[in-house]
Structure 1
Amino acid sequence: MKSPSLVTSLSSSSSPSSYGIIVRRTRTFIIVGSSDRVDTLLDITPLPPDGSHEIVQFKHCNEPIQTMPFDDGLPYEKFRLIFTSNNGSVVTSRYLSYNQSDQVLNYVEDEKTHQSSLKVARFVLWCDNFLRKGLPKATEDAVKVRRLAKDEEEEEDGGICVICRDKYQADHTIGTLACKHSYHEECIREWLDEKKHCPMCRIPIFHYYF
């Protein structure tokens, strides 16, 4: 999971208690926690044409998952992720493997799998925090706001907001995204109400790097 995963859909403002993660690129299915009950599925799918990015879709469930919750005609390897955290950081993480009869086997001990479990555990914590905030709050937090100083009028992205095409002036309120592109705060917030990406570079505002 070396490429960025992009969150594009969200419909819950409360934090789910358990996850199932479908990773289509590595053909793995990961259940998070000690129970087979999955409240939220995270379906991670490579984006065309080159697959260099991945998209994460949230799907809410109400029933325990006994088998793979999808079928695209190819086999998947199944794991259970057990991890502990403290103050938003992963402390311990391990995978349990399954056999072909869907029975839990032993902990997987090799270093590569351990590193994968750490990355997925961190991703789960990030998603949990994202879902807890809800989409409106997460969108609001994605814009860093400041007042423009007199000597920054021409330096800030060429001195023009590309959304409204007006020149920046001293004391204008500027909103900057994680990609470092800036706009009038009001302009970028109105833009993000409809589109969840930067107007200039098209990078989605919600992303997580494995």
Structure 2
Amino acid sequence: MSRNGLKTILEIGPVVLFFAAYLMLRDRTFDIAGTEYTGFILITAAFVPLIALSTFLLWRLTGELSKMQIVTLVLVVVFGGLTVWFNDERFFKMKPTLIYLIFGAILGAGLLQGKSYLRMVMGEAIPLDEEGWMKLTRRFCAFFFGLAVLNEIVWRTMSTDAWVNFKTFGLTAAIFVFFVTQGKLFRDHGTQSGD
């Protein structure tokens, strides 16, 4: 298997395994030491070390981790741990909201300083001029805040099944659609090099 293939598996594998395990255990409850746990709680308990292991392996494979990967790991450990400790799935459902709020706030803070922190992270992958980076950063900032609101609406008003489907497929599709809709910006502000 190629290095890029292994990297992709390590990045999306834990989410796929979480979804598959949820489908198998969502209607079951388990009695452990006199406490009843839903399948969702047990899957979350398994997901926390799995995401930690996959992040460690990504670091070993690539020699680096993005700030996004580190923040995501910390929030998974904290909110996954709270979910299991308090036997309350709401903590884990709040995690995406906080991730998107943090990323939106970081980008917003940069914009207030006239900087594109997004460029610092993605500058080598997407060659844009300065105006393009500022526009893309403003759009990403709004997008992250929108995803935070959307996650709150879904988990607070819909079933756990609906939230798991939204988290697994809806958010992924939203990110894909967001990038597709930026085609004109990439054309208008693209450069031949990342400078």
Question: Aligning the two structures, in what range does the TM-score lie when normalised by the shorter sequence?
Answer: under 0.3
Structure (1/2) with the larger helix percentage: 2
What TM-score comes out, normalization by structure 2 length?
0.28
What TM-score comes out, normalization by structure 1 length?
0.27
Indicate the structure (1 or 2) with the bigger Cα radius of gyration: 1
Structure (1/2) with the larger strand percentage: 1
